[in-house]
């Protein structure tokens, strides 16, 4: 899948996705470039995703040749310092090594600038899909109607909600009754095993989306726990039978529904308002046009960092969700106050 290829090349990670008939949704984590950059070995591994063995070997050779310091030849003009004094041999070597390092850095930057970047991820994905689609259908020209829309999502409750919103797209479109039946989504891949039969990538992404605020990484072994909680949240959103569970309380066995467990302060979902799960059944424009989604503190922090992108009269960033998104008002906030066509 092109999406997975772009994921491997750029270093970005897909947490949740859903491919519809004429558009797609992706919840993407864009980690910063590792401190000190990536190793040559890692660079070659990533390049092998998009380039064949011969091309990768040529790039490696170009870097190796550039890394070899070039000393001044016998008939070349001697280098001199600011006072016109010829360089010593030691100065010649130091300068040659510096120039070689700069040349290698220039070659590496041709490829690494396309990594750990949302815009470059989307550019690679859209361009490569267009080429594939045009080739398959004997057509040419552009394919996408407009530029992609992006929303910044805070980890925790907002990320969980966004992931579920994405996976419920085919259900809202009446294409399937159960999100597990739709194979072109993160949940469908995680449940059905995906193209290679294991669904590990999809499971890792949903685990990360669910537990990212707790410092959990892409740990597929936590999928059984996340699967139960994630499906329960989507099941309640779709009005399925919630199931029942017995909870020990003050020496007595109390029977609670899944809705009550979901609202409990001890519940992993931290979705205190049951209306939030019902909200996920609707098309909520905040999830595609809200600019920033998360807690009030998070949205205000992003607003301060990007102050120049907003009007001079605006004092803060966080805005309450309205309309179809009002069930989550107070739990998550948006950077945009969508007063028209809120639903």
pTM tops 0.85 = no
Tens of pLDDT, residues 122-160: 999 999 999 988 988 899 888 888 888 888 888 888 888
Tens of pLDDT, residues 100-114: 888 999 999 999 999
In the chain, pLDDT over 70 holds for what percent of residues? 74
Q: What is the pLDDT of residue 294?
A: 82
Structure tokens at 207: 């685990």
User: 230-248 in b/e burial notation, b at 16+ Cβ within 10 A?
Assistant: bbbbbbbbbeeebeeeeee
pLDDT band at 46 (very low <50, low <70, confident <90, very high): very high
pLDDT band at 83 (very low <50, low <70, confident <90, very high): low
Would you call 248 helix, strand, or coil by DSSP? strand
User: Tokens 């070995």 appear where?
Assistant: 41
Choice between 58 and 305, residue whose per-residue pLDDT is larger: 58
Tens of pLDDT, residues 204-257: 999 999 988 887 888 888 888 888 888 877 766 665 433 343 444 445 545 555
Q: Residue 163: which of 97, 113, 213, 98 has the closest Cα?
A: 213
In the chain, pLDDT over 90 holds for what percent of residues? 28
Would you call 246 helix, strand, or coil by DSSP? strand
CB 318 within 8 A of CB 279: no
Would you call 167 helix, strand, or coil by DSSP? helix
Q: Residue 183: which of 26, 1, 19, 14 has the closest Cα?
A: 19
How far apart are alpha carbons 262 and 229 in whole angstroms? 9
CB 287 within 8 A of CB 246: no
Residue 96 half-sphere exposure, CB side, CA atoms within 13 Å? 15
Averaged pLDDT score across all residues of the chain:
78
Task: Name the percent of the chain in helix, strand, coil, to the closest 5.
Answer: 50, 10, 40
Choice between 254 and 316, residue whose per-residue pLDDT is larger: 316
* Domains of the chain, residue spans: 33-71+90-115
How far apart are alpha carbons 40 and 179 in whole angstroms? 41
Above 70 in pLDDT, residue 276?
Answer: no
Q: Residue 235: which of 264, 261, 202, 196 has the closest Cα?
A: 261
| Main-chain dihedrals φ then ψ at residue 235, nearest 5 degrees | -65, -40
Q: Residue 164: which of 235, 221, 225, 262 has the closest Cα?
A: 235
How far apart are alpha carbons 318 and 332 in whole angstroms? 9
Would you call 201 helix, strand, or coil by DSSP? helix
Q: Which helix (H) or strand (E) holds 90?
A: helix 89-112
- What single DSSP character describes residue 236? H
Above 70 in pLDDT, residue 267?
Answer: no
CB 151 within 8 A of CB 289: yes
How far apart are alpha carbons 207 and 197 in whole angstroms? 18
| Main-chain dihedrals φ then ψ at residue 154, nearest 5 degrees | -75, 150
Structure tokens at 52: 């064949």
In this prediction, residues 283-294 reach a mean pLDDT of 71
């Amino acid at each position: 899948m092109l999406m997975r290829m772009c994921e491997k090349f750029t270093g970005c990670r897909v947490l949740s996705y859903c491919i519809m008939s004429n558009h797609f949704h992706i919840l993407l984590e864009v980690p910063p470039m590792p401190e000190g950059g990536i190793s040559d070995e890692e660079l070659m591994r990533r390049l092998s995703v998009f380039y064949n063995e011969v091309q990768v070997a040529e790039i490696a050779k170009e870097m190796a040749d550039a890394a070899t310091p070039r000393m001044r030849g016998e008939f070349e003009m001697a280098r001199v310092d600011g006072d016109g004094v010829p360089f010593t041999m030691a100065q010649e070597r130091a300068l040659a090594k510096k120039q070689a390092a700069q040349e290698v850095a220039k070659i590496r930057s041709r490829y690494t600038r396309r990594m750990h970047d949302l815009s470059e991820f989307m550019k690679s994905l859209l361009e490569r899909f267009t080429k594939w689609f045009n080739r398959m259908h004997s057509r040419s020209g552009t394919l996408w109607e407009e530029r992609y829309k992006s929303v910044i999502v805070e980890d925790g409750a907002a990320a969980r909600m966004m992931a579920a919103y994405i996976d419920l797209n085919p259900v809202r479109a009446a294409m399937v009754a159960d999100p597990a039946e739709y194979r072109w989504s993160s949940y469908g891949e995680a449940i059905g095993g995906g193209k290679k039969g294991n669904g590990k990538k999809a499971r890792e992404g949903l685990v990360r989306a669910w537990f990212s605020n707790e410092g959990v990484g892409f740990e597929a072994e936590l999928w059984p726990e996340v699967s139960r909680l994630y499906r329960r949240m989507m099941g309640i959103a779709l009005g399925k039978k919630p199931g029942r569970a017995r909870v020990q309380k003050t020496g007595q066995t109390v029977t609670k529904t899944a809705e009550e467990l979901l609202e409990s302060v001890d519940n992993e979902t931290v979705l205190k308002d049951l209306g939030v799960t019902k909200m996920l059944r609707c098309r909520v424009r905040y999830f595609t046009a809200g600019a920033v989604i998360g807690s009030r503190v998070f949205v205000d922090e992003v607003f301060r960092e990007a102050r120049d992108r907003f009007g001079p009269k605006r004092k803060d960033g966080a805005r309450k969700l309205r309309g179809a998104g009002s069930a989550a008002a107070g739990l998550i906030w948006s950077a945009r106050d969508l007063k028209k066509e809120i639903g």
